[in-house]
Amino acid sequence: MTHVTPARKQSGTSLYGGTSSRRITVRDIAAAKERGEKWPMLTAYDAMTASVFDQAGIPVLLVGDSMGNCHLGYESTVPVTMDEIALLSAAVVRGTRRSLVVGDLPFGSYQEGPVQALRNATRLVKEAGVGAVKLEGGERSADQIELLVRSGVPVMAHIGLTPQSVNAYGGYPVQGRGEEAAQQLLRDAKAVQDAGAFAVVLELVPAELAAEVTRSLHIPTVGIGAGPDCDGQVLVWTDMAGMTDGRVPRFVKQYAQLRQGLGDAARAFAEDVVGGAYPAEEHSFH
């Protein structure tokens, strides 16, 4: 069946709003860079939310280790395990037909070296059915990326701020500020491209530097807090839709206020139950 996204119907091959009867692949992502097309990516952690984004035409869904803070109630991404990523990645794959699903390799699942990375990436591809994996690190992760790509696993790299290193940073500081740090970011970007990554996330880097990286690479960049010139833009869905409790980072734009709406719905239900208005006649069987 041809899947036509309702949000913005376009003919042809565009990643967002295009028509296609099959899943997006990394070749489609490469073609979008050649066309100079910008594209959106969101995180997803369950089948139902993923199906909403799939039907909205979001071409790439990331089962991010941000599930630690946004779905599993941890303080950071650090405690997230392979079992958790595998379980939720499988759910996201089941909830989607068109989106390319990218499974995140969590902290400790690839740092030992390429063989460990391949073992865990293979698990996400075979058990969960993801079309690609993501891992953090530039030059330091190049060997892992190279073996995964040689073995047939597409890899999205992630440089700039890498949240799995929160304990080393002592927070979430903007990266790539100053000449030396900017040069390191450019080297990291080149290293992941040379290792075979099909795209690279740039997190929390100055907009001008992200623009320079984007111009210098033939693979697409996906920005988060990296200005408007990246090829793609990614947001954590709970931030984007106003589900997050409390402050969201400055780079987030909220497109809905789901937390407020869901709380209102829960309170209305509770009041109906307490007041005897629910269930009414039309909700009852005789």
Residue among 20 and 24 whose Cβ is closer to ligand KIV:
24
Report, in Å, the least distance between residue 206 CB and ligand KIV.
17
Residues near ligand KIV (CB under 6 A), total? 11
Binders in 185-214 for ligand KIV, by CB under 6 A: 201
Residue among 65 and 146 whose Cβ is closer to ligand KIV:
65
Q: Which of 127, 203, 281, 282 is catalytic?
A: 203
Report, in Å, the least distance between residue 201 CB and ligand KIV.
5
Site string for ligand KIV, 21-60 (x = CB under 6 A): ----------------------x-----------------
CA-only gyration radius of the chain, Å: 20
Site string for ligand KIV, 77-106 (x = CB under 6 A): ---------------------------x--
Residue among 142 and 224 whose Cβ is closer to ligand KIV:
224
Residue nearest to ligand KIV (CB): 64
CA nearest 15: which of 220, 174, 156, 175?
A: 220
Which of 58, 153, 199, 236 is in the footprint of ligand KIV by CB under 6 A?
Answer: 236
**Annotation marks residue 203 as catalytic:** yes
**Do 99 and 58 touch, CB atoms closer than 8 A?**
yes
Site string for ligand KIV, 53-72 (x = CB under 6 A): ---------x-xxx------
Site string for ligand KIV, 241-280 (x = CB under 6 A): ----------------------------------------
> Position 145: which residue type?
I
145: left (phi over 0), alpha (psi -120 to 50) or beta: alpha
Report, in Å, the least distance between residue 133 CB and ligand KIV.
12
Tokens of 101: 């699903």
Q: Is position 234 an interface residue for ligand KIV (rule: CB under 6 A)?
A: yes
Q: Is position 138 an interface residue for ligand KIV (rule: CB under 6 A)?
A: no
Binders in 147-186 for ligand KIV, by CB under 6 A: 158
Q: Is position 239 an interface residue for ligand KIV (rule: CB under 6 A)?
A: no
> Position 260: which residue type?
Q
CB atoms near residue 189 (< 10 Å): 28
Report, in Å, the least distance between residue 245 CB and ligand KIV.
17
**Residues contacting 136, CB < 8 A, separation 6+:** 157, 158, 159, 162, 163, 164, 165
Binding residues vs ligand KIV (CB under 6 A): 43, 62, 64-66, 104, 158, 201, 224, 234, 236
Known catalytic residues? 203
